[in-house]
Structure 1
């Protein structure tokens, strides 16, 4: 008995739809992690912060499952052309979401020593950065789910807003540190946390580029405005980052 072509196509489509659903769920979990991290920063709750850090294992586990699903699809279906783009896009997007989860966990991890020093007014600025980053990630997840290249392109462009907000916050924190040396320790933690959030936006743009390629079969080669000016010579203290866990 032979399996009909229509059955094979439907079976592949079902598997791809399931894979897409898993990725969207993984992305939503990563955004929830970011929002939970900001919440524990504001509440100065060490125990809750550690809980957010520990929850990153769930995102890592989902990435492993998706990687296995991709390998199985490649082995069993041998996809070609646009189907192959769909499968490889899923693999790359999973890696970006995993990094988003890592950066959210890093924010929560930094909140623990931050809660041990006197609070500073500038802490509130993190929430605005996180809101912009979460909006980017949710927007690009919707673009991926709907195969909407134009929406992905809009997210890609909108990352300039997060860059601008990061630059402004960077300079604000430097001002706080110069005005009062007692602010140096908490503001240093805030700088690293803010940079992690800015990097989440960069991974959202990576996903947007993958969605564009997935839909159109060509790279997104437009010029994007970059508004992160923290590496310019007149701004001291550039090059902040957080090592991979």
Structure 2
């Protein structure tokens, strides 16, 4: 009977992990498609991101319900409990990534036919590529239960901040040089901020992966490179 319970519990943990991986795939796709929608000025691609967001939200609810049931039925302790709790935490971060990607897609509609300086789009595509690469790496660390890889991802957040700062300064320069760019650049500020926020959620996932594997928190304060430019907080929405 005990072996049966252990086998069932292992199956439930694997199901949670599989759902996290599925959510991660959708979150990665939504971010990539959102930036493609911006670059191509494609409302059709933007609508695809909205569809992906709804799928991500549904998975997050399933994971939350399954995780709570696992805790209630199995009463796991130590590593097993951390596995379940961190799956819940990671699903929340992935759900937020889906929201942020959808916010980016909404900017495509808000921009309409307003001209956008091409170098700014290129900068945002570079920032998106970096963020998506880190998301892929942290999902790989989750799958491998690799705390060292999680630490490496967590400590590399400054690369996202540095590139975000560069893109942000570029947007400000275009706004100051030509007032006709203000409308487009205002939208691009939101896009850049949403990408930077996605990077923050990747770091959160890395913390969860490390905690699940080791039971230790990554609690060293990370310097925020954005302070160097005195950037005001931009509400993503």
Normalising by structure 1, report the TM-score: 0.92
Match 1:86 to one of 83, 88, 111: 83
Segment drifting more, 172-181 vs 136-145: 136-145
CA contact (8 A) 1:45 1:115 kept: no
Q: Which runs of 5+ in 1 are unaligned?
A: none
Q: Output aligned runs, 1:108-187, within 5 Å.
A: 108-121=105-118, 122-187=120-185
Q: Which runs of 5+ in 2 are unaligned?
A: none
CA contact (8 A) 1:46 1:115 kept: no
Segment drifting more, 10-19 vs 143-152: 10-19
1:10 aligns with 2:4: no
In 2, Cα distance between the equivalents of 1:81 and 1:93?
18
Q: Counterpart in 2 of 1:61? A: 58
In the TM superposition, what is the alpha-carbon distance from 1:230 to its structure 2 partner? 5.8
Task: Give RMSD over aligned pairs.
Answer: 1.4
Q: Output aligned runs, 1:217-228, within 5 Å.
A: 217-228=215-226
Q: Counterpart in 1 of 2:100? A: 103
State the number of aligned residues. 236
In 1, Cα distance between the equivalents of 2:124 and 2:50?
18
In 2, Cα distance between the equivalents of 1:215 and 1:118?
48
In the TM superposition, what is the alpha-carbon distance from 1:48 to its structure 2 partner? 2.4
In 1, Cα distance between the equivalents of 2:82 and 2:163?
34
In the TM superposition, what is the alpha-carbon distance from 1:55 to its structure 2 partner? 2.6
Q: Counterpart in 2 of 1:209? A: 207
In the TM superposition, what is the alpha-carbon distance from 1:225 to its structure 2 partner? 4.1
TM-superposition CA deviations, 1:55-104 (whole Å, max 9, x none): 31110000001011101101211111221111110111100000000001
In 1, Cα distance between the equivalents of 2:176 and 2:196?
23
Q: Counterpart in 1 of 2:26? A: 29
CA contact (8 A) 2:141 2:209 kept: yes
In the TM superposition, what is the alpha-carbon distance from 1:223 to its structure 2 partner? 4.1
Normalising by structure 2, report the TM-score: 0.95
TM-superposition CA deviations, 1:4-39 (whole Å, max 9, x none): x23222221121011101101101110100101111
1:188 aligns with 2:186: yes
Runs ≥4 in structure 1, deviation > 4 angstroms? none
In 1, Cα distance between the equivalents of 2:140 and 2:45?
29
